[in-house]
Amino acid sequence: MALLLTACEPRPTPEEVRAELTRRIPRSVPDRADWARDIQAAFAAQEIEPSVSNLCAVLAVIEQESTYRADPPVTGLPQIARNEIARRAERLHVPAFMLDAALDIRSTDGRTYAERLAALRTERELSELFEEMIHRVPLGRRMLDGFNPVHTSGPMQVSIAFAERNARGYPYPRDGSIRHEVFTRRGGIYFGTMHLLGYPANYRQPLYRFADFNAGWYASRNAAFQRAVSIAAGKALVFDGDLLAPGAPMDSPGATEAAVRTIAPQLGMDAAGIRDDLGRGRLLAFEDTALYRNVFAIAERKAGGALARARLPQIDLKSPKISRRLTTAWFADRVNQRWKQCMAR
């Protein structure tokens, strides 16, 4: 999937891109023109190639994550929110009676906070309620400051932390914080498009971008590298795309790093060099490292043939919103099916 526009290619006009999007968005969506406008604007602002494949990739994620609702409802959200608050209070040793008393306070709209919790439908409502409770409820700052339970939101369920890290160049006037912008259609599409398509990758199928959207940039490439490490070193590994254990000291590396070190003599590298190359695991440049090239060379000699440079990561999805066993592979396959439907429309 090509990304950046090049000078030698004719650029479709904004009107042509919006018309193409309107044709590809399901007819059951009542405000197709508005969705098309915001998607086209995101592509233009980020200079991403508006190919049919790329447009359908964004549409497929939107359909999977929100069925074209900027602030989609979440089943069971009141209980999820109440449980998160209770767990937070328990960790901070706040007695249950004090929590109940705090939630019985009248909020700015006249209802108690307990009543508003019980009526929650969307993550935007939950986020706004937490922000108000932090400032108005006794013990609010102690219990909830820095603990907004909403980490992904908007029509593409993009990470709020990702949006905050990549806010520079955001083309719209901000309606408050970047967190607030992610809950809007325009903001959710802008950052979701960036997360999906805003990085170069050598994938031959969009399936692996869909997995990366769920697991992080280059997770599919890194999972394939982990398989090569497993073959080269003869060590069983989980192919989850995480090459380094966060914060691991040099004398206690994570599983992938430890496996690589067992073949360090064959690689002609020391522990520091191995860690340095693994540290490029969220960059395209990792593929240019001696570690990447040599691990695949050793593994392919052992395997007796070429190995894939991308595979679906082995990750179980965990969230208070998820009530059944789901995986990154499941998510990627679902989005890929929607992409195929969009391409055929």
- Reduced 3-state DSSP string for 20-70: HHHHHCCCCCCCHHHHHHHHHHHHHHHCECCCHHHHHHHHHHHHHHHCCCC
Residue 231 has pLDDT above 80, yes or no: yes
327 phi/psi in degrees, rounded to 5 = -130, 165
pLDDT band at 7 (very low <50, low <70, confident <90, very high): very low
Per-residue model confidence (pLDDT) at position 320: 58
Using alpha carbons only, give the angle 224, 226, 231 rounded to the nearest 5 degrees.
100
CA distances from 143 to 85, 104, 134, 275, 321 (A): 8, 16, 8, 38, 21
What is d(CA 140, CA 161) in angstroms, rounded to the nearest whole number?
22
**What are the extents of the domains in the chain?**
14-70+156-198, 77-153, 216-303
* Dihedral angle of Cα 318, 320, 322, 326, to the nearest 10 degrees: 10
Residue 93: alpha-carbon gap to chain centroid: 33
Rounded mean pLDDT of 101-125? 89
Rounded mean pLDDT of 208-222? 97
Report helix, strand or coil for 158. strand
Is the separation of the CB atoms in 181 and 38 below 8 Å?
A: no
Per-residue model confidence (pLDDT) at position 168: 94
**Of 162 and 95, more confident:** 162
What's the token pair of residue 147? 């603990």
Secondary-structure percent of the chain, ordered helix, strand, coil, rounded to 5: 55, 5, 40
Question: pLDDT digit string (tens) for 143-191?
Answer: 666 566 678 889 999 999 999 999 999 999 987 789 899 999 999 999 9
Residue 24 has pLDDT above 80, yes or no: yes
Is the separation of the CB atoms in 51 and 1 below 8 Å?
A: yes
Distance from the first to the final alpha carbon of the chain? 19
Is the separation of the CB atoms in 124 and 183 below 8 Å?
A: yes
Question: pLDDT digit string (tens) for 29-79?
Answer: 999 999 999 999 999 999 999 999 999 999 999 999 999 999 888 888 888
Residue 2 has pLDDT above 80, yes or no: no
Q: What is the number of helices (H) and of strands (E) in the chain?
A: 18, 4
Report helix, strand or coil for 13. coil
Is the separation of the CB atoms in 61 and 179 below 8 Å?
A: no
Is the separation of the CB atoms in 229 and 295 below 8 Å?
A: yes
What is d(CA 225, CA 241) in angstroms, rounded to the nearest whole number?
8
Per-residue model confidence (pLDDT) at position 6: 43
Which of 213, 101, 208 lies closest to 157, judged by CA?
A: 213
Per-residue model confidence (pLDDT) at position 176: 79
* Cβ atoms < 10 Å from Cβ of 94: 17
* Global pTM exceeds 0.85: yes
Return the bridge partners of 317, or none: 326
**Of 37 and 100, more confident:** 37
DSSP H stretches of helix in 109-218: 113-118, 123-136, 140-144, 160-165, 178-182, 185-197, 207-215
The string over 1-11, giving b where at least 16 C-beta atoms fall within 10 Å of a residue's C-beta and e elsewhere, is: beeebeeeeee
Q: Which 8-state DSSP code applies to residue 12?
A: P
What's the token pair of residue 186? 């325009």
60-64, 104-108, 208-212, 318-322: least confidently modelled range: 318-322
